Amino acid sequence: MSDVISRDQKQSWFYSDIVKEHFFNPQNFVMGELENPESYNATGKIGSPACGDELRVWLRVDPATERILEFRWKTFGCGSAIASTSMASVMITENGGLTLDEARKLRPQDIMTRLGGLPPRKFHCSVLCDKALRDAINDYLRRSNQPDRMIRESARVIDPVAKVTDRDIEEAVLEGAHTIELVQQKTKVGIGNPSILPAVEELIRFYKEKYFGATY
């Protein structure tokens, strides 16, 4: 028996026991208003282009060691976003907390592995916490006057004819389009401009490796 059946009854999927545990008992979740907001020295916010859901995070960073001592969060996202962010908050703060540089190296696939996997159609939900964390780290560096250490991830136009950016290709891969044909179906990239297809294939490889691992 599946855990979830899609509205059109065409798809169904399971969640691991760890995903269910974090969904029903989310760690470091902010219920209602955040208490003592002045004790946090960074905040980040991100919305998902795939589904419109939003995630907000707050960090308490030790300025001496740059370790993340607290990671609190709030989302109006789905169960997978809740479970992924809950697990991320544990991984980031356990054993004294990751440093900012260590936290930047945490990949969505590390979180998914520790959750015991997520259904493929839910991968994009686990990326929300990664992006909100990066936004919050930039916020910490901005507030602590270290702008040269900030990493700005702005969208780059790949196909000016179809108006497709690298972000659009990233979202397509996260939604399960893992071949050039499937990415073209979703984005129309390269249809009037085939000379850019090798660059698109390179990006598909890059995002597959980033989110699903080298052996995917």
Catalytic residues: 51, 125
| Residue 180 interacts with ligand FES (CB under 6 A): yes or no | no
Question: Can residue 184 be called a binding residue for ligand FES (CB under 6 A)?
Answer: no
CB closer to ligand FES, 83 vs 100: 83
Least CB distance from residue 177 to ligand FES, whole Å? 16
- Binding span for ligand FES by CB under 6 A among 45-53, 58-66, 112-120, 141-149: 45-53
- Supply the minimum distance, in Å, between the C-beta of residue 81 and ligand FES: 4
CA dist 190 and 200 (Å) reads 8
- What sign does the CA torsion over 157, 162, 163, 165 have? negative
Pair 89, 132: CB distance under 8 Å: no
Minimum separation from the CB atom of position 18 to ligand FES (A) = 17
Q: Which is nearer to ligand FES, 68 or 128 (CB)?
A: 128
| 160 vs 187: CA distance, rounded Å | 12
Interface with ligand FES (CB under 6 A), residue from 78, 90, 180, 199:
78
Give the 3-state DSSP-derived string for 102-147, with helices as H, strands as E and coil as C.
Answer: HHHHCCHHHHHHHHCCCCHHHHHHHHHHHHHHHHHHHHHHHHCCCH
- Binding to ligand FES by CB under 6 A, coded x per residue (else -) over 97-126, reads ----------------------------x-
Q: Which is nearer to ligand FES, 26 or 190 (CB)?
A: 26
- Using CB under 6 A as the binding rule, whether residue 86 contacts ligand FES is answered as no
Q: DSSP label at 155?
A: -
Instruction: Spell out the residues 6+ positions from residue 155 whose beta carbon is closer than 8 angstroms to its own.
Output: 165, 166, 167
What is the radius of gyration, based on Cα positions, of the chain? 18
Beta bridge partners of 68: 61
Q: Which of 4, 34, 51, 69 binds ligand FES (CB under 6 A)?
A: 51
Binding site for ligand FES (CB under 6 A): 48, 51, 53, 77-78, 80-81, 125, 128
